[in-house]
Amino acid sequence: MTGTTFLAGESSVWVQPYGPNTEPKYLGCHSVGDIPEPKGDSTQLWCPDPARTGKFTSKRSFRGEPGISTTTITTDLRKTADYLEDLSANGCPFPFFIHKVSCGRRDVFTNFDRSFVLRGVEITTSTLTKLAAKDPADNGESGQTFDISMQEVLRVFPMEISRVSVTETEDITGLTVAGEDRCEGSCGAAQKPEDDLFVSSKALVGSAANTADVLRSLNGGAWTATVADPLGAGMDIMGLVSFSMGRGVTRVLVANGKTQAAHPAEVSYTDDNGATWTTAHVGTTNAEYITSIFAFDRYNVWVGTSGGRIYFSSDAGVTWTVQENAVISATAVVGISGYDDDNLMAIYTGGEIAVTSDGSTWASTTSSGLTTATGVKMISTYSAWAVGAQGMYYTTDGGVTWTKRNSYAIGAIDFLNEMFGLAAGSAANANVYMTIDGGFDWQVLPAVTNGGFTFLKILTTKLAYVCGKISGGTGFLGKILPAT
Protein backbone atom coordinates (compact mmCIF):
# COMPACT_ATOMS: atom_id res chain seq x y z
CA MET A 1 0.00 0.00 0.00
CA THR A 2 1.32 3.41 -0.92
CA GLY A 3 0.23 6.89 0.01
CA THR A 4 1.27 10.13 1.63
CA THR A 5 2.08 9.78 5.31
CA PHE A 6 0.87 12.31 7.85
CA LEU A 7 2.93 14.50 10.14
CA ALA A 8 1.81 14.99 13.72
CA GLY A 9 1.25 18.68 13.06
CA GLU A 10 -1.14 17.97 10.19
CA SER A 11 -4.09 17.78 12.52
CA SER A 12 -6.91 19.60 14.22
CA VAL A 13 -8.41 18.77 17.59
CA TRP A 14 -12.06 19.16 18.49
CA VAL A 15 -14.37 18.47 21.42
CA GLN A 16 -18.14 18.30 21.84
CA PRO A 17 -18.56 19.68 25.35
CA TYR A 18 -22.34 19.19 25.26
CA GLY A 19 -22.28 15.70 23.77
CA PRO A 20 -23.21 14.15 20.40
CA ASN A 21 -25.30 16.18 17.96
CA THR A 22 -24.15 19.50 19.43
CA GLU A 23 -21.69 22.00 18.02
CA PRO A 24 -18.07 20.77 17.98
CA LYS A 25 -15.56 23.23 19.42
CA TYR A 26 -12.13 23.74 17.86
CA LEU A 27 -9.43 23.44 20.52
CA GLY A 28 -6.50 24.85 18.58
CA CYS A 29 -3.28 24.69 20.57
CA HIS A 30 -3.52 21.18 22.01
CA SER A 31 -1.39 18.09 21.58
CA VAL A 32 -2.44 14.48 22.05
CA GLY A 33 -0.15 11.69 23.17
CA ASP A 34 0.00 8.10 21.97
CA ILE A 35 -3.24 6.11 22.20
CA PRO A 36 -2.68 2.41 22.85
CA GLU A 37 -5.66 0.16 22.13
CA PRO A 38 -5.22 -3.01 24.23
CA LYS A 39 -7.00 -5.92 22.54
CA GLY A 40 -6.54 -8.44 25.34
CA ASP A 41 -3.63 -10.79 26.03
CA SER A 42 -3.57 -14.26 24.51
CA THR A 43 -3.38 -17.24 26.87
CA GLN A 44 -2.13 -20.58 25.53
CA LEU A 45 -3.43 -23.93 26.77
CA TRP A 46 -0.82 -26.69 26.65
CA CYS A 47 -0.46 -30.46 26.48
CA PRO A 48 2.70 -32.59 26.62
CA ASP A 49 4.20 -33.28 23.19
CA PRO A 50 4.01 -37.07 22.77
CA ALA A 51 6.96 -37.05 20.36
CA ARG A 52 9.43 -35.03 22.42
CA THR A 53 10.27 -35.38 26.09
CA GLY A 54 10.18 -32.10 27.94
CA LYS A 55 8.27 -30.34 25.16
CA PHE A 56 4.69 -29.14 25.01
CA THR A 57 2.25 -28.27 22.25
CA SER A 58 -0.45 -25.64 22.30
CA LYS A 59 -3.90 -27.21 21.95
CA ARG A 60 -5.77 -23.89 21.76
CA SER A 61 -5.70 -20.33 23.04
CA PHE A 62 -8.09 -17.66 24.24
CA ARG A 63 -7.89 -13.91 24.53
CA GLY A 64 -8.56 -12.05 27.76
CA GLU A 65 -10.62 -8.92 28.15
CA PRO A 66 -9.41 -5.82 26.28
CA GLY A 67 -7.92 -2.97 28.24
CA ILE A 68 -9.06 0.64 28.33
CA SER A 69 -7.47 3.08 25.89
CA THR A 70 -5.89 6.10 27.53
CA THR A 71 -3.85 9.12 26.51
CA THR A 72 -2.84 12.60 27.66
CA ILE A 73 -3.90 15.95 26.20
CA THR A 74 -1.55 18.86 26.75
CA THR A 75 -2.29 22.56 26.32
CA ASP A 76 -1.28 25.96 27.64
CA LEU A 77 -2.91 27.99 30.39
CA ARG A 78 -4.83 31.08 29.31
CA LYS A 79 -7.01 33.76 30.86
CA THR A 80 -10.11 32.00 29.55
CA ALA A 81 -10.78 28.51 30.85
CA ASP A 82 -10.24 25.68 28.39
CA TYR A 83 -13.25 23.52 27.49
CA LEU A 84 -11.43 20.58 29.04
CA GLU A 85 -11.21 22.38 32.39
CA ASP A 86 -14.99 22.66 32.52
CA LEU A 87 -15.43 19.05 31.38
CA SER A 88 -13.03 17.88 34.08
CA ALA A 89 -15.17 19.55 36.72
CA ASN A 90 -18.38 18.27 35.11
CA GLY A 91 -17.32 14.62 35.14
CA CYS A 92 -19.61 13.53 32.27
CA PRO A 93 -18.26 11.62 29.23
CA PHE A 94 -17.90 13.52 25.96
CA PRO A 95 -16.74 13.00 22.34
CA PHE A 96 -13.28 14.12 21.21
CA PHE A 97 -11.97 14.31 17.64
CA ILE A 98 -8.50 14.21 16.14
CA HIS A 99 -8.66 15.16 12.46
CA LYS A 100 -5.76 14.60 10.11
CA VAL A 101 -5.71 17.64 7.82
CA SER A 102 -3.31 18.05 4.89
CA CYS A 103 -5.01 20.98 3.12
CA GLY A 104 -7.40 23.79 3.95
CA ARG A 105 -8.41 25.40 7.22
CA ARG A 106 -7.97 23.46 10.41
CA ASP A 107 -10.91 25.20 12.10
CA VAL A 108 -13.53 23.80 9.70
CA PHE A 109 -14.90 20.66 11.29
CA THR A 110 -15.83 18.85 8.09
CA ASN A 111 -12.34 19.33 6.61
CA PHE A 112 -10.38 16.14 7.27
CA ASP A 113 -8.50 13.46 5.32
CA ARG A 114 -9.38 10.97 8.02
CA SER A 115 -10.44 11.31 11.63
CA PHE A 116 -10.16 9.51 14.92
CA VAL A 117 -13.33 9.87 16.96
CA LEU A 118 -12.86 9.12 20.65
CA ARG A 119 -16.18 7.97 22.09
CA GLY A 120 -17.11 8.22 25.75
CA VAL A 121 -14.06 10.22 26.84
CA GLU A 122 -13.62 10.80 30.57
CA ILE A 123 -10.96 12.92 32.24
CA THR A 124 -9.29 10.82 34.92
CA THR A 125 -6.56 13.26 36.06
CA SER A 126 -5.88 16.92 35.36
CA THR A 127 -2.50 18.46 36.13
CA LEU A 128 -1.40 22.10 36.21
CA THR A 129 2.21 22.73 35.17
CA LYS A 130 4.62 25.63 35.71
CA LEU A 131 2.20 27.80 37.65
CA ALA A 132 4.90 29.86 39.30
CA ALA A 133 8.69 30.41 39.10
CA LYS A 134 11.09 31.86 41.65
CA ASP A 135 13.97 32.50 39.26
CA PRO A 136 14.54 32.86 35.49
CA ALA A 137 15.77 29.27 35.16
CA ASP A 138 12.32 28.00 36.15
CA ASN A 139 10.43 30.40 33.92
CA GLY A 140 8.38 29.04 31.01
CA GLU A 141 4.89 28.68 29.67
CA SER A 142 2.23 27.67 32.20
CA GLY A 143 0.22 24.73 31.04
CA GLN A 144 -2.09 21.88 31.93
CA THR A 145 -2.49 18.24 31.04
CA PHE A 146 -5.55 16.03 31.02
CA ASP A 147 -5.25 12.27 31.31
CA ILE A 148 -8.24 10.67 29.61
CA SER A 149 -9.76 7.24 29.10
CA MET A 150 -12.17 6.41 26.32
CA GLN A 151 -14.80 3.86 25.41
CA GLU A 152 -13.67 3.39 21.81
CA VAL A 153 -11.60 4.89 19.01
CA LEU A 154 -13.56 5.14 15.75
CA ARG A 155 -11.53 5.38 12.57
CA VAL A 156 -13.53 7.35 10.02
CA PHE A 157 -12.82 8.47 6.47
CA PRO A 158 -14.39 10.57 3.75
CA MET A 159 -16.72 8.14 1.96
CA GLU A 160 -18.01 7.55 -1.55
CA ILE A 161 -20.62 5.31 -3.21
CA SER A 162 -19.61 2.48 -5.50
CA ARG A 163 -22.54 0.99 -7.41
CA VAL A 164 -22.86 -2.79 -7.31
CA SER A 165 -23.90 -4.64 -10.46
CA VAL A 166 -27.23 -6.46 -10.15
CA THR A 167 -29.61 -7.82 -12.76
CA GLU A 168 -32.71 -6.91 -10.77
CA THR A 169 -34.89 -4.68 -12.98
CA GLU A 170 -37.13 -3.30 -10.23
CA ASP A 171 -36.66 -1.13 -7.14
CA ILE A 172 -34.48 -2.66 -4.43
CA THR A 173 -36.31 -2.19 -1.15
CA GLY A 174 -34.11 -3.63 1.58
CA LEU A 175 -30.96 -5.47 2.62
CA THR A 176 -30.21 -7.79 5.51
CA VAL A 177 -26.87 -9.03 6.81
CA ALA A 178 -26.96 -12.78 7.45
CA GLY A 179 -23.27 -13.46 8.05
CA GLU A 180 -21.49 -13.51 11.41
CA ASP A 181 -18.21 -12.19 12.71
CA ARG A 182 -16.03 -15.18 13.57
CA CYS A 183 -12.52 -16.52 13.27
CA GLU A 184 -11.72 -19.89 11.78
CA GLY A 185 -12.35 -22.61 14.35
CA SER A 186 -14.74 -25.30 15.47
CA CYS A 187 -17.72 -23.32 14.13
CA GLY A 188 -16.32 -23.24 10.60
CA ALA A 189 -14.30 -21.06 8.28
CA ALA A 190 -13.57 -17.44 9.07
CA GLN A 191 -16.46 -15.15 8.19
CA LYS A 192 -17.38 -11.48 8.20
CA PRO A 193 -21.00 -10.34 8.49
CA GLU A 194 -20.94 -8.98 4.94
CA ASP A 195 -19.98 -12.41 3.57
CA ASP A 196 -23.68 -13.36 3.47
CA LEU A 197 -26.16 -10.72 2.30
CA PHE A 198 -29.74 -10.72 1.01
CA VAL A 199 -31.65 -7.95 -0.78
CA SER A 200 -35.33 -7.66 -1.69
CA SER A 201 -37.15 -6.07 -4.61
CA LYS A 202 -40.53 -5.15 -5.96
CA ALA A 203 -42.35 -7.03 -8.69
CA LEU A 204 -42.23 -5.81 -12.29
CA VAL A 205 -44.54 -2.84 -12.73
CA GLY A 206 -47.45 -3.58 -15.05
CA SER A 207 -47.00 -7.35 -14.93
CA ALA A 208 -49.57 -9.28 -12.92
CA ALA A 209 -47.55 -12.48 -13.38
CA ASN A 210 -44.12 -11.22 -12.30
CA THR A 211 -42.85 -11.96 -8.79
CA ALA A 212 -40.64 -9.94 -6.49
CA ASP A 213 -37.14 -11.31 -5.98
CA VAL A 214 -34.80 -12.02 -3.11
CA LEU A 215 -31.15 -11.97 -4.18
CA ARG A 216 -28.21 -13.36 -2.24
CA SER A 217 -24.48 -12.63 -2.35
CA LEU A 218 -21.86 -14.87 -0.74
CA ASN A 219 -18.32 -13.73 0.05
CA GLY A 220 -18.66 -10.62 -2.07
CA GLY A 221 -19.66 -12.60 -5.16
CA ALA A 222 -22.39 -11.98 -7.71
CA TRP A 223 -25.97 -11.42 -6.63
CA THR A 224 -28.23 -14.30 -7.64
CA ALA A 225 -31.96 -14.84 -7.11
CA THR A 226 -33.04 -17.48 -4.62
CA VAL A 227 -34.37 -20.74 -6.07
CA ALA A 228 -37.94 -19.90 -5.09
CA ASP A 229 -39.72 -16.55 -4.76
CA PRO A 230 -41.33 -15.74 -1.42
CA LEU A 231 -44.52 -14.01 -2.55
CA GLY A 232 -47.24 -14.52 -5.11
CA ALA A 233 -47.44 -12.90 -8.53
CA GLY A 234 -47.64 -9.11 -8.54
CA MET A 235 -46.73 -8.73 -4.86
CA ASP A 236 -43.95 -6.37 -3.68
CA ILE A 237 -41.41 -7.07 -0.96
CA MET A 238 -41.19 -3.88 1.09
CA GLY A 239 -38.27 -5.11 3.24
CA LEU A 240 -36.64 -8.04 4.97
CA VAL A 241 -34.81 -9.04 8.15
CA SER A 242 -32.75 -12.06 9.17
CA PHE A 243 -31.81 -13.77 12.44
CA SER A 244 -30.31 -16.99 13.75
CA MET A 245 -32.61 -19.97 14.31
CA GLY A 246 -29.86 -22.20 15.66
CA ARG A 247 -26.44 -23.44 14.70
CA GLY A 248 -26.01 -23.10 10.97
CA VAL A 249 -29.60 -21.98 10.33
CA THR A 250 -30.54 -18.39 9.50
CA ARG A 251 -34.12 -17.33 8.86
CA VAL A 252 -34.80 -14.64 6.28
CA LEU A 253 -38.19 -13.00 6.79
CA VAL A 254 -39.74 -10.79 4.08
CA ALA A 255 -42.77 -8.52 4.31
CA ASN A 256 -45.44 -8.22 1.64
CA GLY A 257 -45.84 -4.55 0.83
CA LYS A 258 -48.84 -4.71 -1.48
CA THR A 259 -52.54 -4.88 -0.71
CA GLN A 260 -54.65 -7.98 -1.34
CA ALA A 261 -58.39 -7.39 -1.19
CA ALA A 262 -59.23 -10.87 0.09
CA HIS A 263 -56.25 -11.38 2.42
CA PRO A 264 -54.74 -9.72 5.49
CA ALA A 265 -51.11 -8.62 5.67
CA GLU A 266 -48.57 -11.37 5.27
CA VAL A 267 -44.91 -12.32 5.67
CA SER A 268 -42.90 -15.18 4.19
CA TYR A 269 -39.83 -16.85 5.63
CA THR A 270 -37.14 -19.31 4.63
CA ASP A 271 -34.69 -21.38 6.66
CA ASP A 272 -32.89 -22.83 3.64
CA ASN A 273 -31.62 -19.68 1.90
CA GLY A 274 -34.64 -19.35 -0.34
CA ALA A 275 -35.08 -22.90 -1.61
CA THR A 276 -38.52 -22.95 0.05
CA TRP A 277 -40.71 -20.30 1.66
CA THR A 278 -43.55 -20.42 4.19
CA THR A 279 -46.24 -17.73 4.30
CA ALA A 280 -47.89 -16.48 7.50
CA HIS A 281 -50.77 -14.04 7.86
CA VAL A 282 -50.41 -10.99 10.09
CA GLY A 283 -53.70 -10.03 11.70
CA THR A 284 -57.15 -10.51 10.19
CA THR A 285 -57.84 -7.22 8.43
CA ASN A 286 -58.19 -7.82 4.70
CA ALA A 287 -56.46 -5.48 2.22
CA GLU A 288 -53.98 -4.36 4.90
CA TYR A 289 -50.30 -4.67 4.00
CA ILE A 290 -46.96 -4.21 5.70
CA THR A 291 -45.18 -0.85 5.47
CA SER A 292 -42.28 -1.39 7.91
CA ILE A 293 -40.41 -4.26 9.56
CA PHE A 294 -37.90 -4.42 12.40
CA ALA A 295 -36.24 -7.25 14.35
CA PHE A 296 -33.67 -7.70 17.09
CA ASP A 297 -33.68 -11.51 16.95
CA ARG A 298 -36.07 -14.43 16.47
CA TYR A 299 -37.90 -13.58 19.68
CA ASN A 300 -38.47 -9.89 18.98
CA VAL A 301 -39.94 -8.96 15.59
CA TRP A 302 -42.29 -6.08 14.80
CA VAL A 303 -44.15 -4.95 11.68
CA GLY A 304 -46.20 -1.84 10.98
CA THR A 305 -49.07 -1.82 8.53
CA SER A 306 -50.83 0.44 6.06
CA GLY A 307 -53.73 0.69 8.50
CA GLY A 308 -51.71 2.02 11.42
CA ARG A 309 -51.38 -1.27 13.32
CA ILE A 310 -48.23 -2.57 15.01
CA TYR A 311 -47.88 -6.34 15.28
CA PHE A 312 -45.37 -8.39 17.26
CA SER A 313 -43.98 -11.91 16.85
CA SER A 314 -42.03 -13.83 19.48
CA ASP A 315 -41.65 -16.97 17.35
CA ALA A 316 -39.65 -15.70 14.36
CA GLY A 317 -42.66 -14.58 12.34
CA VAL A 318 -44.86 -17.67 12.57
CA THR A 319 -47.63 -16.05 14.65
CA TRP A 320 -48.45 -12.39 15.34
CA THR A 321 -50.31 -10.40 17.99
CA VAL A 322 -51.49 -6.83 17.62
CA GLN A 323 -49.88 -4.39 20.05
CA GLU A 324 -51.25 -1.12 18.68
CA ASN A 325 -54.64 -1.47 16.97
CA ALA A 326 -54.67 1.79 14.95
CA VAL A 327 -55.66 3.84 18.02
CA ILE A 328 -52.75 6.29 17.76
CA SER A 329 -53.25 6.69 14.00
CA ALA A 330 -54.97 4.80 11.21
CA THR A 331 -52.31 5.86 8.68
CA ALA A 332 -49.33 3.78 7.55
CA VAL A 333 -46.53 2.97 9.99
CA VAL A 334 -43.54 3.75 7.76
CA GLY A 335 -40.76 3.07 10.26
CA ILE A 336 -40.02 1.13 13.45
CA SER A 337 -36.72 1.29 15.32
CA GLY A 338 -35.55 0.18 18.73
CA TYR A 339 -32.72 0.85 21.15
CA ASP A 340 -33.40 -2.47 22.91
CA ASP A 341 -36.34 -4.87 23.03
CA ASP A 342 -38.17 -2.67 25.54
CA ASN A 343 -37.57 0.80 24.11
CA LEU A 344 -38.85 1.32 20.58
CA MET A 345 -40.27 4.10 18.44
CA ALA A 346 -42.58 4.03 15.42
CA ILE A 347 -43.37 6.78 12.94
CA TYR A 348 -46.49 7.16 10.81
CA THR A 349 -46.57 8.64 7.33
CA GLY A 350 -47.88 11.96 8.68
CA GLY A 351 -45.02 12.23 11.17
CA GLU A 352 -46.93 11.06 14.26
CA ILE A 353 -44.76 9.18 16.78
CA ALA A 354 -45.56 6.15 18.93
CA VAL A 355 -43.24 4.92 21.68
CA THR A 356 -43.00 1.94 24.01
CA SER A 357 -40.82 1.39 27.06
CA ASP A 358 -41.83 -2.22 27.69
CA GLY A 359 -41.79 -3.59 24.12
CA SER A 360 -45.55 -4.07 24.04
CA THR A 361 -47.58 -1.06 25.23
CA TRP A 362 -47.48 1.81 22.73
CA ALA A 363 -48.38 5.42 23.46
CA SER A 364 -48.44 8.55 21.34
CA THR A 365 -46.00 11.36 21.92
CA THR A 366 -45.31 14.67 20.20
CA SER A 367 -45.46 14.57 16.40
CA SER A 368 -42.06 14.82 14.75
CA GLY A 369 -42.94 17.85 12.62
CA LEU A 370 -42.80 15.88 9.38
CA THR A 371 -45.85 15.69 7.15
CA THR A 372 -44.44 13.05 4.79
CA ALA A 373 -42.28 10.74 6.90
CA THR A 374 -40.15 7.89 5.58
CA GLY A 375 -38.37 6.48 8.63
CA VAL A 376 -37.09 6.69 12.18
CA LYS A 377 -33.86 5.65 13.90
CA MET A 378 -33.58 5.27 17.66
CA ILE A 379 -30.07 5.89 19.08
CA SER A 380 -30.78 5.59 22.82
CA THR A 381 -33.77 5.69 25.14
CA TYR A 382 -33.77 9.47 24.72
CA SER A 383 -32.20 10.15 21.32
CA ALA A 384 -33.79 9.44 17.93
CA TRP A 385 -34.03 10.78 14.37
CA ALA A 386 -37.13 11.10 12.21
CA VAL A 387 -36.76 11.72 8.48
CA GLY A 388 -38.93 12.42 5.47
CA ALA A 389 -39.64 14.77 2.61
CA GLN A 390 -39.44 17.84 4.86
CA GLY A 391 -36.02 17.07 6.30
CA MET A 392 -34.32 15.58 9.33
CA TYR A 393 -35.67 16.00 12.87
CA TYR A 394 -34.19 14.80 16.14
CA THR A 395 -35.24 14.36 19.74
CA THR A 396 -33.09 14.14 22.87
CA ASP A 397 -35.94 13.55 25.31
CA GLY A 398 -37.58 10.42 23.95
CA GLY A 399 -39.92 12.25 21.58
CA VAL A 400 -41.35 14.87 23.92
CA THR A 401 -39.82 17.59 21.73
CA TRP A 402 -38.41 17.54 18.20
CA THR A 403 -35.94 19.89 16.52
CA LYS A 404 -35.39 20.29 12.79
CA ARG A 405 -31.77 19.85 11.72
CA ASN A 406 -32.09 20.47 7.97
CA SER A 407 -34.49 20.37 5.03
CA TYR A 408 -32.92 17.50 3.07
CA ALA A 409 -35.59 15.19 1.60
CA ILE A 410 -34.54 11.85 3.14
CA GLY A 411 -35.66 8.34 2.23
CA ALA A 412 -33.58 6.34 4.74
CA ILE A 413 -31.32 6.86 7.75
CA ASP A 414 -29.04 4.64 9.84
CA PHE A 415 -26.57 5.12 12.70
CA LEU A 416 -23.77 2.79 13.76
CA ASN A 417 -23.69 4.40 17.22
CA GLU A 418 -24.42 7.83 18.66
CA MET A 419 -21.67 9.42 16.51
CA PHE A 420 -21.51 7.86 13.03
CA GLY A 421 -24.53 8.00 10.75
CA LEU A 422 -25.67 8.11 7.13
CA ALA A 423 -28.80 9.49 5.51
CA ALA A 424 -29.92 8.95 1.91
CA GLY A 425 -32.14 11.23 -0.13
CA SER A 426 -35.50 10.16 -1.53
CA ALA A 427 -35.64 12.13 -4.79
CA ALA A 428 -34.07 11.13 -8.11
CA ASN A 429 -30.30 11.78 -8.16
CA ALA A 430 -30.45 12.30 -4.42
CA ASN A 431 -27.42 12.74 -2.19
CA VAL A 432 -26.11 10.57 0.61
CA TYR A 433 -25.01 12.45 3.72
CA MET A 434 -22.58 11.42 6.46
CA THR A 435 -22.15 12.60 10.04
CA ILE A 436 -19.37 11.74 12.46
CA ASP A 437 -20.46 14.04 15.30
CA GLY A 438 -23.88 12.59 16.00
CA GLY A 439 -25.79 14.67 13.47
CA PHE A 440 -24.77 18.28 14.03
CA ASP A 441 -22.76 18.33 10.78
CA TRP A 442 -23.75 16.38 7.66
CA GLN A 443 -21.29 16.05 4.77
CA VAL A 444 -22.44 15.35 1.22
CA LEU A 445 -20.84 12.30 -0.38
CA PRO A 446 -19.75 12.53 -4.04
CA ALA A 447 -22.79 12.40 -6.34
CA VAL A 448 -23.88 9.22 -8.08
CA THR A 449 -26.71 8.78 -10.56
CA ASN A 450 -29.74 7.21 -8.86
CA GLY A 451 -33.52 7.09 -8.91
CA GLY A 452 -33.93 7.90 -5.21
CA PHE A 453 -32.88 5.85 -2.17
CA THR A 454 -35.07 3.56 -0.07
CA PHE A 455 -32.84 1.82 2.50
CA LEU A 456 -29.50 2.16 4.33
CA LYS A 457 -27.48 -0.29 6.39
CA ILE A 458 -24.20 0.58 8.14
CA LEU A 459 -21.92 -2.34 8.99
CA THR A 460 -18.77 -0.44 10.06
CA THR A 461 -17.30 3.04 9.68
CA LYS A 462 -15.72 1.72 6.47
CA LEU A 463 -18.66 -0.16 4.94
CA ALA A 464 -22.35 0.52 4.38
CA TYR A 465 -24.94 -0.42 1.76
CA VAL A 466 -27.59 1.75 0.16
CA CYS A 467 -30.60 0.52 -1.84
CA GLY A 468 -32.78 2.44 -4.21
CA LYS A 469 -35.17 2.78 -7.08
CA ILE A 470 -34.53 1.86 -10.71
CA SER A 471 -31.72 3.79 -12.36
CA GLY A 472 -30.26 2.89 -15.72
CA GLY A 473 -32.57 -0.08 -16.13
CA THR A 474 -31.83 -1.86 -12.85
CA GLY A 475 -32.57 -1.35 -9.19
CA PHE A 476 -29.90 0.59 -7.32
CA LEU A 477 -27.52 -1.19 -4.94
CA GLY A 478 -24.41 0.56 -3.76
CA LYS A 479 -21.52 0.11 -1.37
CA ILE A 480 -20.39 3.09 0.67
CA LEU A 481 -16.63 2.86 1.17
CA PRO A 482 -13.69 5.11 2.07
CA ALA A 483 -12.97 7.46 -0.81
CA THR A 484 -9.96 6.55 -2.96
Q: Residue 2 corresponds to which amino acid? A: T
What type of residue sits at position 267?
V
| Mean pLDDT for all residues in the chain | 95
pLDDT at 208: 67
**CA nearest to 353, candidates 311, 324, 391, 321:** 324
Please check whether residue 475 is in contact with residue 201, taking contact to mean a CB–CB distance below 8 angstroms. yes
User: What local confidence, expressed as pLDDT, does residue 3 receive?
Assistant: 65
| CA pseudo-torsion sign 15, 17, 21, 22 | negative
Question: Which CATH number is 11-38+67-156 given?
Answer: 2.30.110
pLDDT, residue 63, reads: 87
**What pLDDT does residue 202 have?**
95
Residue 436 class from Cβ within 10 Å (0-12 exposed, 13-18 middle, 19+ buried)? buried
**Phi, psi at 435, each rounded to 5°:** -125, 145
Is 310 in contact with 354 (CB distance < 8 Å)?
A: yes
Q: Which residues, including other chains, have CB under 8 Å from residue 322's CB and lie 6 or more apart?
A: 283, 309, 310, 311, 312
C-alpha pair distances (Å), 449 with each of 162, 429, 469, 477: 11, 5, 11, 11
CB 265 within 8 A of CB 256: yes
Over residues 298-349, the pLDDT tens digits come to: 999 999 999 999 999 999 999 999 999 999 999 999 999 999 999 999 999 9
pLDDT of residue 137: 83
Residue 1 has pLDDT above 50, yes or no: no
Segment 140-149 mean pLDDT: 96
pLDDT in tens, 79-98: 999 999 999 999 899 999 99
Amino acid at 56: F
Whether residue 2 has pLDDT greater than 70: no
Residue range 361-377: average pLDDT?
98
pLDDT band at 210 (very low <50, low <70, confident <90, very high): confident
Distance in angstroms (rounded) separating the CA atoms of residues 342 and 356: 7
CA distance 207 to 211: 9
Q: Tell me, what's the pLDDT at 60?
A: 87
Tell me the average pLDDT across 292-300: 98
At 429-481, the pLDDT tens digits run 999 999 999 999 999 999 999 999 999 999 999 999 999 999 999 999 999 99
Query: Is the predicted pLDDT of residue 16 greater than 50, yes or no?
Result: yes
**Which residues contact residue 79 at a Cβ distance below 8 angstroms, ignoring those fewer than 6 apart?**
none
Query: Is the pLDDT confidence value at 231 over 60?
Result: yes
Output the pLDDT for position 76.
Answer: 95
pLDDT reported for residue 103: 95
Percent of the chain with pLDDT over 90: 90
Domain positions in the chain are 11-38+67-156, 159-482
Distance CA 381, CA 413 (A): 18
Tell me how far CA of residue 142 lies from CA of 126, 131, 139, in angstroms.
14, 5, 9
Q: Which CATH superfamily is domain 159-482 in?
A: YVTN repeat-like/Quinoprotein amine dehydrogenase (2.130.10.10)
Residues listed for the chain: 484
